[in-house]
Amino acid sequence: MVVIMDLQIVFGIDFGTTNSALSVYRNGGVEMVEVDDTISGDQVSDLMRSVLYFSEEKEIFTGSEAIRQYVGDGAEGRFMQSIKTFLPNRSFQNTEIFGARYGIDDLVAIILKKLKARGEAHVGCSVDSVVLGRPVVFSTDAEKDALAEQRLEKAARKAGFKHIWFQYEPVAAALTYEETLSAGQERTVFIGDFGGGTSDFTVIRVKGGAFDRSDRRSDVLSLGGVYVAGDKFDSQIMWDKVAHYFGRYARYQPMGKRQWHDIPTTLIKTLCQWHRIPLLRARDTRELIRVLKRSTDNRPALDHLESIIEDNFGFALFQAIEKAKCELSGCEQSTICFNEGDLSIAEPINKSEFETLNSDNFEQIERCIDEVIVQSGLTAAQIDAVSLTGGTSKIPYIQNLFVERFGADKSENHNAFTSVAHGLGSSVPLFV
Ligand SMILES: Nc1ncnc2c1ncn2[C@@H]1O[C@H](COP(=O)(O)OP(=O)(O)OP(=O)(O)O)[C@@H](O)[C@H]1O
Ligand SMILES: [Mg+2]
């Protein structure tokens, strides 16, 4: 029995909102696989951006290739990111792309298929078993949460997997953390996984040494998560620091009236989630913008609004916003720099401003952390260590939340981008 299990090869896939990664479980060990090139194309990477690009010639690209093609094509085709975000969204049934219809599971399957192919090239044989990561909370609505998992499972089947198991992403990160402990060392640890779409938490008992193949559910003392992570911070920066370039404070005079009215907020709010910007291409919206332009007090801003919709530069703008956000994790001050046509943005932003404008987002995260501590039945003092992972855990304010609660010496930051995928590989013996 043991021999058969050890000969078995199973993939661990962390399909992330921003980045995806793949591990292989074989011969009783876990390896990470280089699944893509870096965006510049000059190095291999164990991360693949979870993006898709459909060219007008009906070719489909994923990861770094999708980004290069999209930029090279002058953004003529259809680019998609944060696809994971749509999984619990019942109203997203399918989308038409250049005459073909794609369900959400079809879109996810394209990414999973590419990861699977890279994994199979790595091991030299076909593999039909996978442990997939899932956030603790896809949605607070139980039905939507179940729908998201069903869709992810369907996508995995379409990608060619026959045996599919799910593991909570923070539990997977905990299994990776466990490997850093010496044999016999036992700890109760708070794991925080801060990604692009969700922030997920668990308090779990871990033990160093030979991997414990028994059911680990009784070691999980609490689980929780919120739909607030990197993408939300980017949207908030867009709203507070950049939206005024697109008419956030512009006004207009309805025909035949003397009073000034604000530009409809929904228009500007839609801009703050860049993947929703194409929705503004609807005929009614375009007509509305044309009407507003005739009587606005800020014509340049409405020209920019029209052009971000028509010329599809939302992705590039959000890249600039994300870059400034990431810089603020390492210094006090950065600038959102973006140029397109006659739009020139050089908007300074400092760390405390970033923290203030995201205070509601941080508060939601804090509340969830505190709930997860309470639900574990332990006090912060009784929890031995804190391990943070995920790209968003690099934000100093987030790190400080843990210093405040647990003290400076309990916190450790682990490989931000691959610890979940590695732990999914380590989860294999729990299922197989
Ligand atoms: N230095 C940094 N400072 C702040 N944020 C960062 C930094 N580096 C990356 N990020 C953010 O981390 C997020 C991506 O992290 P990660 O790859 O862990 O997410 P994911 O696993 O794809 O998402 P999820 O787990 O929510 O599905 C992005 O929002 C990115 O902007
Ligand atoms: Mg993640």
Amino acid at 396: P
User: Is 55 domain-assigned?
Assistant: yes
Query: Is residue 164 located within the same domain as residue 278?
Result: no
Q: Which domain holds residue 12?
A: 2-180+415-431
Q: What is the reported pTM?
A: 0.93
- C-alpha to C-alpha distance for 403 and 405, rounded to whole angstroms: 6
Helix (H) or strand (E) holding 335: strand 333-340
Query: Is residue 168 located within the same domain as residue 75?
Result: yes
- C-alpha to C-alpha distance for 411 and 399, rounded to whole angstroms: 8
**40-41-46-50 Cα dihedral, nearest 10 degrees:** 70
* H-state helical runs in 333-381: 351-357, 359-375
- C-alpha to C-alpha distance for 87 and 233, rounded to whole angstroms: 20
Average pLDDT over residues 175-203: 95
- Higher pLDDT pick, 310 / 245: 245
| C-alpha gyration radius of the chain | 23
Question: Does 2 have pLDDT greater than 60?
Answer: no
Query: Is residue 173 located within the same domain as residue 268?
Result: no
Q: Let me know: does 396 contact 351? Beta carbons within 8 Å.
A: yes
pLDDT number for residue 91: 86
Residues 6 or more apart whose Cβ sits within 8 Å of residue 45: 34, 35, 36, 37, 38, 64
CATH number at residue 425: 3.30.420.40
- C-alpha to C-alpha distance for 140 and 136, rounded to whole angstroms: 10
Question: Does 245 have pLDDT greater than 70?
Answer: yes
User: Is 281 domain-assigned?
Assistant: yes
Atom of ligand 1 nearest to the CA of 169: 25
DSSP letter for each residue of 144-196: HHHHHHHHHHHHHHHTT-SEEEEEEHHHHHHHHHHTTSPTT-EEEEEEEEE-S
User: Is 26 domain-assigned?
Assistant: yes
The predicted-structure confidence for 194-233, as pLDDT tens digits, reads as follows 999 999 999 999 999 987 777 888 999 999 999 999 999 9
Question: Does 320 have pLDDT greater than 80?
Answer: yes
User: Is 194 domain-assigned?
Assistant: no
Query: Is residue 146 located within the same domain as residue 59?
Result: yes
pLDDT number for residue 74: 66
Tell which of 336, 354, 372 closes a domain: 354
% of residues, the chain, pLDDT over 90: 79
- C-alpha to C-alpha distance for 337 and 238, rounded to whole angstroms: 12
Query: Is residue 64 located within the same domain as residue 138?
Result: yes
Query: Is residue 166 located within the same domain as residue 239?
Result: no
Task: Tell me the pLDDT band of 75, cut-offs 50, 70 and 90.
Answer: low
Q: Give residue 133 CA to ligand 2 midpoint distance, Å.
A: 8
Query: Is residue 9 located within the same domain as residue 142?
Result: yes
- C-alpha to C-alpha distance for 14 and 193, rounded to whole angstroms: 12
Ligand nearest to the CA of 417: 1
Measured by CA distance, the residue closest to atom 24 of ligand 1 is: 195
pLDDT number for residue 296: 96
Query: Is residue 292 located within the same domain as residue 156?
Result: no
Mean pLDDT of the chain: 93
pLDDT number for residue 3: 36
Measured by CA distance, the residue closest to atom 25 of ligand 1 is: 195
pLDDT number for residue 7: 58
SS3 57: coil
Query: Is residue 314 located within the same domain as residue 422?
Result: no
Query: Is residue 63 located within the same domain as residue 171?
Result: yes
- C-alpha to C-alpha distance for 363 and 359, rounded to whole angstroms: 6
User: Is 9 domain-assigned?
Assistant: yes
Q: Give residue 168 CA to ligand 1 midpoint distance, Å.
A: 17
First to last CA, the chain: 11
Query: Is residue 11 located within the same domain as residue 148?
Result: yes
Helix (H) or strand (E) holding 311: none
Query: Is residue 7 located within the same domain as residue 131?
Result: yes
Question: Does 166 have pLDDT greater than 80?
Answer: yes
Q: Give residue 391 CA to ligand 1 midpoint distance, Å.
A: 3
Domain count, the chain: 2
Using CB atoms within 10 Å of the CB of residue 380, give its burial: 0 to 12 exposed, 13 to 18 middle, 19+ buried: middle
Q: Which residues line ligand 1 (CB under 6 A)?
A: 16-19, 84, 169, 195-198, 229-231, 322, 325-326, 329, 390-392, 394-395, 417
The predicted-structure confidence for 348-375, as pLDDT tens digits, reads as follows 999 999 999 999 999 999 999 999 999 9
Average pLDDT over residues 388-417: 93
User: Is 392 domain-assigned?
Assistant: no
> Would you give the DSSP letter of residue 263?
P
User: Is 193 domain-assigned?
Assistant: no
Give the residue among 128, 33, 118, 132 at the shortest CA–CA distance from 87: 132
The predicted-structure confidence for 249-301, as pLDDT tens digits, reads as follows 999 999 888 899 999 999 999 999 877 887 888 899 999 999 999 999 999 99
Average pLDDT over residues 94-103: 90
Atom of ligand 1 nearest to the CA of 330: 1
For a ligand 1 pocket test, name from 17, 149, 318 the mutation site with the most ligand atoms within 8 angstroms of its C-beta. Answer: 17
Tell which of 354, 383, 403 closes a domain: 354
pLDDT number for residue 6: 41
pLDDT number for residue 4: 40
Residue 387 has φ and ψ, to the nearest 5°, of: -125, 120
Residue 76 has φ and ψ, to the nearest 5°, of: -80, -30
Tell which of 313, 331, 354 closes a domain: 354
User: Is 216 domain-assigned?
Assistant: no
- C-alpha to C-alpha distance for 33 and 13, rounded to whole angstroms: 10
Using CB atoms within 10 Å of the CB of residue 105, give its burial: 0 to 12 exposed, 13 to 18 middle, 19+ buried: buried
SS3 376: coil
Q: Let me know: does 138 contact 108? Beta carbons within 8 Å.
A: no
**109-113-115-118 Cα dihedral, nearest 10 degrees:** -170
The predicted-structure confidence for 16-48, as pLDDT tens digits, reads as follows 999 999 999 999 999 999 999 987 778 899 999
pLDDT number for residue 5: 40
